């Protein structure tokens, strides 16, 4: 028969063992997330993509970065007097996945340069925050070298691309900045998804748009769907509050993270840019 003291000692030892196992498991989860964080952030779609969209004369071009990478991009010039949009895609996107954006821009007569970051589509290299920022700068500078003025260029980012676009707008002047489903920081998204993990301390590529947006001095449009389950709607609202005037917030009722194009957001973009709306906006 165990004494009361022996039972208490056994219980304490069992609790210590359980606590130790839980600590090991917790540290294991942290270690896994830390080691694999870039694989989780950059969900690359790889392989060279050839433009083949009926009615669109898209040029498949290659851009050379200052650090030696070759970036695939798709380009269609604008009609005379129309702007050109530098489009920066999201984390699990590819050039081909932008099809319905290109159709809308083509119909409007707006030009576009759709960039595939390093490690995406047919671009060389491995994605990092520093690398993606370099890629965005390379694409902008290519447009300037092609003959476009600052006032011709609209910087447009979706999801992960909003982090690149916001930074780029602090480095180069442009006609406007469009942020579609933006975060305040990728580390903020991670902290909401993993509330018991010190994400801000562990994360390497934070894309701190909430700190950078104050240095953007051009018209800003932020569009966000209130059913977004990837980047919380509240983060779009917070980023908008931090942005300088002039600025416009487009609340997309019922829209999810990847449905804003389908749900008609491009007509909001055209209004913002002072362009005519398309009453027959194509729906995928």
Indicate which residue of 106, 188, 257, 281 is catalytic.
257
Indicate which residue of 159, 187, 209, 255 is catalytic.
159
Q: Where are the beta strands (DSSP E) in the chain?
A: 59-64, 70-76, 84-88, 111-115, 153-158, 176-180, 220-225, 247-252
**Active-site residue, 123 included:** no
- Cβ–Cβ < 8 Å for 104, 98: no
Distance CA 252, CA 260 (A): 7
Indicate which residue of 187, 228, 255, 281 is catalytic.
228
Q: CB atoms < 10 A from the CB of 278, how many?
A: 14
Helix and strand counts by DSSP (H, E) for the chain: 9, 8
**Active-site residue, 228 included:** yes
**Active-site residue, 159 included:** yes
Q: CA distances (Å), 3 to each of 9, 16, 103, 255, in order? A: 10, 20, 80, 64
Taking the CA atoms of 80, 81, 86 and 92 in sequence, report the sign of the dihedral they define. negative
Active site residues: 159, 228, 257
């Amino acid at each position: 028969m165990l004494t009361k003291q022996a039972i208490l000692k056994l219980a304490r030892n069992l609790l210590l063992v359980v606590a130790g196992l839980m600590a090991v498991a917790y540290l294991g989860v942290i270690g896994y997330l830390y080691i694999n964080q870039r694989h989780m952030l950059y969900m690359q779609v790889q392989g060279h993509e050839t433009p083949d969209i009926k009615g669109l004369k898209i040029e498949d071009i290659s851009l050379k970065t200052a650090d030696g990478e070759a970036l695939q991009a798709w380009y269609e010039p604008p009609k005379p007097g129309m702007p050109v949009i530098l489009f920066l895609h999201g984390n699990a996107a590819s050039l081909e996945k932008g099809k319905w954006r290109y159709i809308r821009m083509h119909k409007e007569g707006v030009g576009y340069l759709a960039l595939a970051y390093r490690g995406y589509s047919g671009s060389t290299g491995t994605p990092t925050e520093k690398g993606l920022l370099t890629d965005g700068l390379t694409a902008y500078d290519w447009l300037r070298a092609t003959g476009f003025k600052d006032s011709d260029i609209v910087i447009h980012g979706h999801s992960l691309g909003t982090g690149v676009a916001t930074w780029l707008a602090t480095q180069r002047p442009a006609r406007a900045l469009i942020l579609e489903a933006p975060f305040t920081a990728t580390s903020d998204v991670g902290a909401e998804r993993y509330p018991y993990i010190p994400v801000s301390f562990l994360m390497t590529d934070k894309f701190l748009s909430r700190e950078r947006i104050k240095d953007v001095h051009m018209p800003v449009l932020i569009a966000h769907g209130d059913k977004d389950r990837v980047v919380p709607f509240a983060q779009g609202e917070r980023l908008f509050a931090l942005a300088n005037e002039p600025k416009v917030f487009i609340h997309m009722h019922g829209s999810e993270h990847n449905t804003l194009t389908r749900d008609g957001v491009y007509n909001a973009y055209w209004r913002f840019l002072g362009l005519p709306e398309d009453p027959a906006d194509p729906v995928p």
